[in-house]
Amino acid sequence: MSHRIVIVGGGAGGLELATRLGRTLGKRGQAKVVLVDANLTHIWKPLLHEVAAGSLNSSEDELNYVAQAKWNHFEFQLGRMTGLNRADRRITLAATIDERGEVLMPERELSYDSLVIAVGSTTNDFGTPGAAEHCLFLDTREQAERFHRQLLSHYLRAHANQGDTTEQISVAIVGAGATGVELAAELHHAAHELAAYGLDRIRPENMRITLIEAGPRVLPALPERIGQPVHRTLEKLGVTVLTNAAVSQVTDDALHTAQGETITASFKVWAAGIRAPGFLKDLDGLESNRINQLQVRPTLQTTRDDNIFAFGDCAACPQPGNEGRNVPPRAQAAHQQASLLARSLKLRIAGQPLPEYRYRDYGSLISLASFSAVGNLMGNLTGSVMLEGWLARVFYVSLYRMHQMALYGPLRTLLLMLSDRIGRSTEPRLKLH
């Protein structure tokens, strides 16, 4: 019987790993590769802020798991993992309910020889009163599309108003990390596009965007030399940036800070902090940390079970030589870990020692919609090179193309690029439905 590899989570890392293993071990019959996800389609998570603003049509950029599995020699199982039996090497998938409330698939179990958990992360509201009830989140495609529908509905209602008064719209974004910053810029861009299409009862200057950060500066996880030009660009775009402002409570129409300030907003988005899904905590005795991440060794094996691996945002992986710090939850880390695990699982089947993961920081790029991009590239030969403007935007777009290359291969990625180029000349610049 061939080795059975079950990968839970079809995000960027999990899907890339399943594709790589399917093309090698699966195609040769050396292993049975199974990918499990609660959705039928995949969209690259760093693009969700564009889906929310309408800059990206998610139905055109999504990938179907069933088709990807067929093309790349792995199996796809629709389901959400809820339990683990380490002794019997089985995972439990919850029953799948359709839109009518009927059971599409009952609760079931899947067996494994090697289990890889790559379920990503969700936004951490830190238990802030009212955040869960009154804020929008951008963890999933459905949440991003919900934000876009509400934003568009607001504009359409204003457009239907026969009065002469110009209406306003206010958006407050909690968290000035990459998601918050990029969303603020995309919304400013969307305001101009909506006005250009005739929905001009709300003028671009009357979309009030406030970015709220508890720390002393925007992009706190990135070097200050990146944060400073981003801050300046946001202010030029008319975005109000509040730093050292910790949100203590969220109500139906406002956010309240610990410093006593009140920010009224019709749209409130929480984009601060991450945590792994709650079901990982104490999952059949596996070790986890305070934000539910599974503790792993440098081989990416969980600390209490060599048969179970975890990587990406849901794993707390130590950085050798950087004591007390874990690998940051970034897309490039998940990509690197997927590449390592594609080799490691082949070695494991052959009974050979596994390599250890070492994080390599290749820099950071932040998109400010079509206005600009800022970032730095890091390499052995070039050191750290600061990029800004058009060139930074080109490199930013190339990150998504690299993700597509890993999933589709060079030829299909080239065809997708051509299709996108043609589509821009025949479709609206913003999703209007």
Helix (H) or strand (E) holding 189: helix 178-196
The pair of structure tokens assigned to 207 is: 């979309």
Reduce the DSSP state of residue 392 to 3 states and report it. helix
Q: Using alpha carbons, select from 36, 42, 37, 39 the residue that is nearest to residue 58.
A: 42
Residue 340 and residue 283 share a domain: yes
Phi, psi of 108 (to 5 degrees): -150, 170
Stated pTM of the model: 0.91
Residue 105 and residue 38 share a domain: yes
Given a cut of 70, is residue 287 above it in pLDDT?
yes
Cα dihedral across residues 270, 276, 277, 282: positive or negative:
negative
Residue 218 domain-assigned? yes
Query: Of 349, 379, 414, which residue is a domain's last?
Result: 349
Query: Of 246, 272, 298, which residue is a domain's last?
Result: 272
Residues 258-270, mean pLDDT to the nearest whole number: 94
Residue 379 and residue 344 share a domain: no
Query: Of 272, 292, 315, which residue is a domain's last?
Result: 272
Residue 126 domain-assigned? no
Q: For position 164, what pLDDT does the model report? A: 59
Residue 402 and residue 375 share a domain: yes
Residue 368 and residue 343 share a domain: no
Given a cut of 50, is residue 59 above it in pLDDT?
yes
Q: Which stretches within 45-96 are classed as H helix?
A: 48-53, 58-61, 65-72
Residue 296 and residue 261 share a domain: no
Highest mean pLDDT (candidates 111-115, 407-411, 422-426): 111-115
Round to whole Å and give the CA distance between 231 and 239.
9
Q: Residue 55: which domain range?
A: 3-121+276-349
Supply the mean pLDDT for the chain.
89
The pair of structure tokens assigned to 350 is: 């052959």
Cα dihedral across residues 417, 419, 424, 428: positive or negative:
negative
Residue 406 domain-assigned? yes
Q: Model confidence over 12-37: pLDDT tens digits? A: 999 999 999 999 999 999 999 999 99
Q: For position 256, what pLDDT does the model report? A: 96
Q: For position 381, what pLDDT does the model report? A: 45
Q: Model confidence over 230-247: pLDDT tens digits? A: 899 999 999 999 999 999
Of the pLDDT bands very low, low, confident and very high (cuts 50, 70, 90), residue 40 is very high
The 10 Å Cβ neighbour count of residue 145 is: 17
Strand partners, 269: 136, 173
| Overall domain count for the chain | 3
Residue 264 and residue 187 share a domain: yes
Residue 179 and residue 268 share a domain: yes
Of the pLDDT bands very low, low, confident and very high (cuts 50, 70, 90), residue 198 is confident
Quote the percentage of the chain above a pLDDT of 90: 62
Q: Model confidence over 322-348: pLDDT tens digits? A: 777 899 998 889 999 999 999 999 999
